[in-house]
Amino acid sequence: MMISISEEDAQLERDEVKLLLDRRVDALVLASAQTPACKDLFRATEEHKVPYVLIDRKIAGLKANYVGVNDATVGQIATEHLIACGPLLAHIGGPKIGSAIGRMEGYRRASRPSISIDGSFVVYFC
């Protein structure tokens, strides 16, 4: 088993996948940076006939094996639970990360008229 981390850097992700393919790995398990160039990267992976599975993050327009959750539903369930625990809520996520976008959608869906989303409690990183 080999592990590589790209820190949401699309170029580093491409370089790391190329390195792994050059080392003739049997398969790849990836939580991709989700950039538009990723589709080409995974098509190249398919040309090498190396199986891969995406975890946590789907890539729009790419038919691939995927293991993950419905992020909007998870965000909604978590927010509903936190509302029941107390009135102050915050959301921390990345504006370009698919799983964080879905969870923010769930956060918004769970908000009730009596609990408005305070923009100062929504924090984005990356």
**Regarding predicted confidence, which is higher, 32 or 28?**
28
Distance CA 69, CA 71 (A): 6
Give the pLDDT band (50/70/90) at residue 61.
confident
Please list the alpha-helical segments (H only) found in 3-119. Answer: 10-22, 38-47, 71-85, 98-110
For residue 23, being part of any structural domain is answered with yes
Asked whether the predicted pLDDT for residue 58 surpasses 60, the reply is yes
CATH for 99: 3.40.50.2300
Q: State which of 32, 50, 67 marks the end of a domain.
A: 67
- Same domain for 78 and 61: no
Asked whether the predicted pLDDT for residue 30 surpasses 60, the reply is yes
- Same domain for 77 and 33: no
**Which amino acid does the sequence have at 72?**
A
Is residue 54 exposed (0-12), middle (13-18) or buried (19+ Cβ within 10 Å)? buried
- Same domain for 111 and 82: yes
Range of the domain at 33: 10-67
Global confidence as pTM = 0.67
What per-residue confidence (pLDDT) applies to 67? 93
Give the pLDDT band (50/70/90) at residue 119.
low
Asked whether the predicted pLDDT for residue 113 surpasses 70, the reply is no
> Which is it for strands 28-30 and 122-124: parallel, antiparallel or unpaired?
unpaired
Q: State which of 67, 88, 116 marks the end of a domain.
A: 67
Name 11's Cβ contacts closer than 8 Å, sequence gap at least 6.
Answer: none
- Same domain for 77 and 59: no
**Regarding predicted confidence, which is higher, 34 or 82?**
82
As for how many domains the chain has, the answer is: 2
- Same domain for 62 and 87: no
pLDDT digits (tens, 9 = 90+) for 38-53: 778 888 888 889 999 9
Most confident region among 33-37, 54-58, 84-88, 121-125 by mean pLDDT = 54-58
For residue 120, being part of any structural domain is answered with yes
